[in-house]
Amino acid sequence: MIPRLVPVRALMLLSLFAGACEGSRRPGELAFQGSAPSVEVLARNALRGLAAADTALVNALRLTESEHNGPVWLELPASAPEIGFPVDLAWRNIQLRNTAALSRIGGWYQSNPVRYHVTECRGETQAFATFRVHTDCWVLFLTTRGELLEAQLFKDVLERDGGYKIFRYYDELPRRARL
């Protein structure tokens, strides 16, 4: 009987040790470098970067190629072997659409000063193993004339361990807020 207890005790000790290691992880440890601490900060920084034509800031708010192609892609449904969608094609598509969006919307934000109001992600939140995706996100802001506008600067936001990043920017210009 004692020989059977040893493996059980060993498993119990291992599970306690594993739990202790998992619990010892510091909050934010898995967040991607440069992540915003909230979707609101993310949106404020995106507005500021667009208005100032600050390419470095605008790009820093997005997932990098290595973040997308590594940990994120591996959890997305499109990465399943039976689908056979190549990761490099997915990233090129994101890059092309992002570049087109920034060239279309950048000038509007540089020419029209706005003041951030709120961010609303109106769609569902999709949970994955190591991150969540907030969908149908809208940024609401006020113009200098006091008009409340909304825009989908980005539609999807990745949240990972308390850090937020944009998948890509969208090319839709602002419209009057629909309250």
**Which stretch of DSSP H or E encloses residue 49?**
helix 39-51
What is the edge-to-edge ordering of all strands in the sheet holding 137-143?
A: 114-121, 137-143, 148-151, 175-176
- Answer whether residue 120 is part of any domain: yes
- Answer whether residue 23 is part of any domain: no
Distance of alpha carbon 94 from alpha carbon 65, whole angstroms: 10
| HSE of 83, CA atoms in CB hemisphere, 13 A | 11
Token readout for 50 is 């667009």
Distance of alpha carbon 80 from alpha carbon 74, whole angstroms: 8
For residue range 26-78, list pLDDT tens digits in order. Answer: 655 789 999 999 999 999 999 999 999 999 999 999 999 999 999 999 999 99
* Domain tally, the chain: 1
For residue range 132-170, list pLDDT tens digits in order. Answer: 999 999 999 999 999 999 999 999 999 999 999 999 999
- Answer whether residue 10 is part of any domain: no
- Answer whether residue 8 is part of any domain: no
pTM over 0.85? The answer is no
- Answer whether residue 15 is part of any domain: no
Token readout for 33 is 């470098």
- Answer whether residue 132 is part of any domain: yes
Domain interval for residue 67: 35-176
Do 106 and 118 form a contact (C-beta atoms < 8 A)? no
- Answer whether residue 16 is part of any domain: no
